[in-house]
Amino acid sequence: MPSPTRAQLDALRAHGEAPCVSLYQPTHRTFPDSQQDPIRFRNLLREAEASLATLDGDVDRDALLAPMRALLDDPEFWRRRTEGLACFAAPGRFEYHELVRPTPERVVVADSFHVKPLHRIVQSAERFQVLALDRESARLFEGDRDALHEVTITAFPTTLVDALGDQRTEAHVYGSVPVGGAGGMQGRGSVGHGQGQRKDEIDVDIERFFRVIARGVLETYSRPTGLPLVLCALAEYHAPFRDAMHNPQLLADGIAHHPSAYDVDALRAAAWAVLEPHFVARLAAHVERLGTARAHERGSDDPDAVALAALGGRVELLLVEAERVVPGRIDRETGRIVTGELADPRIDDVLDDLAELTLDMGGEVVVVPAARMPVTSGVAAIYRF
């Protein structure tokens, strides 16, 4: 199963039947490093079993962990790994997700799933879309700084021929033109007599095609997701496409090369180079707001104060440090943080619980890389009031 979506994360958060087993581990794509992956998985399963054994009441540990053991016994599964693995098991529920970034080994048995590592994957702060466009076709990609995948488009046509059909000009129907544009890497034909007139007609077709793509991307993808959009196209096509687009998610900066110059990973790297300054600026704005809020007692980096505010629905924005774990639980009656060990099934990650509470109350959660976290406690909040 690929990396989780926002809807899948919400479904995990909403699961209410305990006990919930959350297992994370780094994995490897290539041999011989991949040989250690099932061994580490087996050790983590033993930790889960030991933690489940401390629970009071009748818990069918074998039935609960059976789907995970089935993965352990599947050699083909371990031959096709990514950088990380997340598994979730509870009565009546099991799923796993491939992760696009390594994750520390961790087993948590608690009343709810431990999902904070997934927040960073699905949060929009690091996610983006890339529109790879040339004069004849368009492709859309979605991902983050670590991975990019192509989106299958069915809602609107993605080639000039399909978009315009028999409404194409004669120059496009009968003429032979450079398919890739100047500098393109696609096959080329020759331009016959009447070149100027043919070019004018072809330019009209390209503009009409761009309008189809612009409208389809805006209505089907940009508006529903709110994700920033990076355009990858020859420099000469950026201005006419932006004239057709009028999309607030389309970044002013883009990639001024033909899409065929990139494989998917190179396209991801080029897009993140465009996006990273925007991500850093957005985080800096959050940090500035946090400083102002704390000065006016409308924010805090004290976990106990943040927990009390989160229970009261006062947290507007929560910053949590990536990979940081604070073993404990929040007493839902008093708002106090009760510390403990993760091996105890009654103990979860306080930061995970704070993120869940904030989201439940309509707040925003941003998972911040450790190097950019503005406080040392691992958590900071801006209050609504």
The CATH code of the domain that includes 30 is 3.30.960.10
User: In this structure, how many other beta carbons lie within 10 angstroms of the beta carbon of residue 12?
Assistant: 21
Q: Is 113 a member of any domain? A: yes
Q: Is 67 a member of any domain? A: yes
Q: Is 152 a member of any domain? A: yes
Are residues 265 and 332 both part of a single domain?
no
CATH code of the domain in which 151 resides: 3.30.420
Are residues 100 and 220 both part of a single domain?
no
Q: Give me the pLDDT at residue 184, please.
A: 37
Contact 360, 318 (CB under 8 A): no
Spatial distance between the Cα atoms of 358 and 383, rounded to a whole number of angstroms: 11
Are residues 263 and 148 both part of a single domain?
yes
Domain span at 311: 297-383
What number of CA atoms fall less than 13 Å from residue 195's CA on the CB side?
6
Spatial distance between the Cα atoms of 146 and 83, rounded to a whole number of angstroms: 10
Q: Is 227 a member of any domain? A: yes
Are residues 322 and 347 both part of a single domain?
yes
Spatial distance between the Cα atoms of 99 and 1, rounded to a whole number of angstroms: 10
pLDDT digits (tens, 9 = 90+) for 89-125: 999 999 999 887 788 899 999 999 999 888 877 765 5
Residue 238 corresponds to which tokens in the numbers above? 């950026």
Q: Is 257 a member of any domain? A: yes
Residue 181 corresponds to which tokens in the numbers above? 């544009």
CATH code of the domain in which 343 resides: 3.30.1330.30
Residues ≥6 apart with Cβ < 8 Å to 247: 214, 217, 218, 222, 229
pTM of the shown model: 0.67
Are residues 137 and 261 both part of a single domain?
yes
In angstroms and rounded to an integer, the radius of gyration of the C-alpha atoms of the chain is 25
Are residues 140 and 110 both part of a single domain?
no
Phi and psi at residue 64, to the nearest 5° = -65, -40
Residues linked to residue 368 through DSSP beta bridges, in sequence order? 321
Q: Give me the pLDDT at residue 95, please.
A: 95
- Burial of residue 1, with CB atoms counted within 10 A of its CB: 0-12 exposed, 13-18 middle, 19 or more buried: exposed
Q: Is 301 a member of any domain? A: yes
Q: Which amino acid is at 343?
A: A
Are residues 150 and 97 both part of a single domain?
no
Are residues 146 and 102 both part of a single domain?
no
Residue 294 corresponds to which tokens in the numbers above? 């704390």
Are residues 111 and 146 both part of a single domain?
no
Q: Give me the pLDDT at residue 295, please.
A: 94
Mind giving me the DSSP string for 250-280?
B-S--B-S-GGG--HHHHHHHHHHHHHHHHH
Q: Is 282 a member of any domain? A: no
**Contacts of 326-332 spanning 24+ positions with Cβ under 8 A:** 326/350, 326/351, 326/378, 326/379, 329/110, 329/353, 330/354, 330/357
Q: Give me the pLDDT at residue 58, please.
A: 80
- Burial of residue 348, with CB atoms counted within 10 A of its CB: 0-12 exposed, 13-18 middle, 19 or more buried: buried
Spatial distance between the Cα atoms of 38 and 36, rounded to a whole number of angstroms: 6
Q: Is 289 a member of any domain? A: no
Are residues 118 and 20 both part of a single domain?
yes
**Final residue in a domain of this structure, among 235, 270, 305:** 270
Residues of the chain with pLDDT under 50: 174, 176-194
Are residues 195 and 214 both part of a single domain?
yes
**Final residue in a domain of this structure, among 228, 253, 270:** 270
Contact 256, 182 (CB under 8 A): no
Spatial distance between the Cα atoms of 115 and 88, rounded to a whole number of angstroms: 9
**Final residue in a domain of this structure, among 252, 270, 288:** 270
